Chains A and B, each alone.
Chain A
Amino acid sequence: MARLPKPLGVVPLGDLAAYVEFSRTLDLEINSVAQRLAAAIVARAVPGIRDVVPALGGVALHFDPGFDGDAVKTAAELVELCMKKGLPDADDLGREVEVPVCYDAEFALDMGEISQRLKMGSEEIIKRHVAGEYRVLMVGFSPGHPYIGGLDPKLAVPRRATPRAMVPAGSVAVANQQTVVYPYAISGGWNIIGRTPLVCFDASRGSPSLFAPGDRVRFYAIDRREFEMRKENP
């Protein structure tokens, strides 16, 4: 197995949280290490730590307000200990998530534009998008909002110059080498290629978020009729 990377440093996020940073650019290998490290920390159930958040380039630890120690020092020691003991295997983390997507023109608001930019027909774009093997790199920004890596490099397009004021909930969108699914109707600048009938975040479900960091994701195409049949209401 490859040697584990060392953190660049531990950055205080105030006095009750610390960010163990491994990379300042997106690196899928390092992202996977961050998720494995987060799993190792969670497994230790350290008193005083109440949130372990794997991010794109590292792991953030959030401490209880009653914590009387030094968050940065505690985080650094904990990470060193976990890395020394060995991290769980990436394959043992995360679940398989299958995501139906209706790529119909009505939902694929930016398909025309990226089709032109890539000089690729929408059918080819859809074919390549469903063929990908994806992994959730991070869930953040808003509840259940996944950043999904593994996009076909041939589908890489930058974000839209002007963000849309309102992106419909469930929109599946791409930018650079990632795919996102918008859990709520919010403003956003990613290129929308379809919509899923699934609800990303539902607080009343036992497992509220459809996506979690480390999940392996597959998209598959459905038609409009199936979209209506499978439409979930939050």
Chain B
Amino acid sequence: MSIRVVRPGLLTTVQDLGRHGLQHLGLCPGGAMDPVSLALANALVGNPPGAAALEITVIGPELLFEHDTLVALCGAEFQGAIPHNRPLLARAGERLSVGRAERGARAYLAVAGGLAIEPVLGSCSTYLPGHFGGLHGRALRHGDALPLVEDVSAERFAALKRRNGASVRWSAPPLTVPDREPIVVHAIEGQHFGLFDTAMQRLFFDTVWKVAPESNRMGFRLAGPALARISGEEILSGPTALGSVQVPANGVPIALMADHQTTGGYPRIAEIVSADVPRVAQMAPGATLHFALCSLDMARELRLDAKQRLDAALRSIAWEFGH
């Protein structure tokens, strides 16, 4: 059982929740840029939230289904006829074409039962710089066959039909897709905030930053005014985290994303709160954001809040499957 890749799209990779416990060996966790949308897509086909799915970036793929397959697409809104945020039965022989992203940058296509991908170091996630994980350690190509785990689509579709009749009339809430720009991104002061003078600190929070074209799964470069430090002395290379905003010598801030380096020697001016990282991941090049200063306590509240909203959405979807 498999899905054929007719057209791969701009960058379509297999992702799950990433590989953990290896940062001391220099390996970043990686995984889905927007794990919230991954969890929703999986729930909509009856999978556990962290099952491996396709991460679709800006321009979507065209897929040919060889068997009746229950799928769901969540995250960014893409052009094309595929309904978002609800389960969908792709019929044998049917082609699904995902167009260009209209709102947001990344969507997740989950398949009932999951993709049959051999985990590498505990995860199915594709790590492009290391050429491992996912399908042969690379993005999808024309002609690829994505193997599926098991034929559970019919059974899960039947469960949905018992509760919903002929068609599903509800949809999962889009939790991470940005609405009005500039997007407000909460950030706490980074370890090296004090290496920038008050004017530069203010500039960081007053500027409307634009996601630069040279942004990828490793990090987003933010176009705007150059941020200069008080003095140029080298700082000891130290650990980084998902959402760290570092400022290299050229003054262009970089927000570290899923495939980020594990350590770095550039000053970290801010740290994006965990609740907002999936929202940042939904920003395509050209999208604008501004940073709002936030306390560590508030960051924790935002995290618990986001978790509660996701859990509630996952529960109501599970209910539709009769769980």
Contacts and interface: CB of A to CB of B under 8 A. Distances in A.
Interface of A: 11-17, 19, 21, 23-26, 38, 50-58, 60, 62, 65-66, 68, 70, 72, 138-145, 147, 183-184, 201, 203-204, 208-209, 212-213
Nearest to B242: A14
A213 B238 contact: no
Given A14-B299, A15-B303, A141-B263, A52 B236 contact: no
A55 B237 contact: yes
A210 B209 CA distance: 40
Contact of A143 (B27, B35, B188, B244): B27
Nearest to B272: A14
Contact of B241 (A17, A141, A184, A203): A17
Interface stretch (B62-70, B126-134, B166-174): B126-134
10 contacts: A12-B271, A13-B241, A14-B242, A14-B243, A15-B303, A38-B24, A51-B29, A58-B239, A139-B25, A141-B264
Interface in B297-321: 297, 299-300, 302-304, 307
A208 B262 contact: no
Contacts of A147: 237
Interface of B: 20-27, 29, 35, 120-121, 127, 129-130, 132-133, 188, 191, 235-244, 261-264, 268, 271-274, 296-297, 299-300, 302-304, 307
Contact of A140 (B127, B244, B263, B297): B263
Contacts of A57: 236, 238
Contacts of B191: 11, 13, 19, 21
A65 B310 CA distance: 12
Given A12-B188, A147-B237, A204-B120, A66 B244 contact: no
B274 A55 contact: no
A212 B23 CA distance: 11
A213 B22 CA distance: 12
B240 A13 contact: yes
Contacts of A143: 22, 25-27, 130
Which of B24, B133, B238 counts the most chain A CB atoms within 10 A?
A: B24
B41 to A, nearest CB: 17
A15 B188 contact: yes
A14 B255 CA distance: 12
A14 B133 contact: no
Contacts of A11: 191
Given A51-B24, A142-B129, A144-B26, A62 B241 contact: yes
Contacts of A16: 241-242, 274, 303
A208 B302 CA distance: 36
Given A14-B271, A25-B236, A208 B25 contact: yes
A21 B35 CA distance: 30
B234 to A, nearest CB: 10
A143 B263 CA distance: 11
A62 B19 CA distance: 13
A70 B259 CA distance: 25
A56 B242 contact: no
A70 B303 CA distance: 11
Given A14-B188, A14-B274, A70-B300, A52 B24 contact: yes
Nearest to B271: A14
Contact of A24 (B27, B236, B264, B302): B236
Nearest to A24: B236
A60 to B, nearest CB: 4
Contacts of B273: 14-15
Given A65-B307, A141-B237, A212-B25, 19 more contacts: A12-B271, A12-B296, A13-B239, A14-B241, A14-B242, A15-B303, A19-B238, A19-B239, A21-B238, A53-B239, A56-B238, A60-B239, A60-B241, A65-B35, A143-B130, A144-B25, A144-B26, A145-B26, A209-B27
A141 B240 CA distance: 9
A155 B171 CA distance: 65
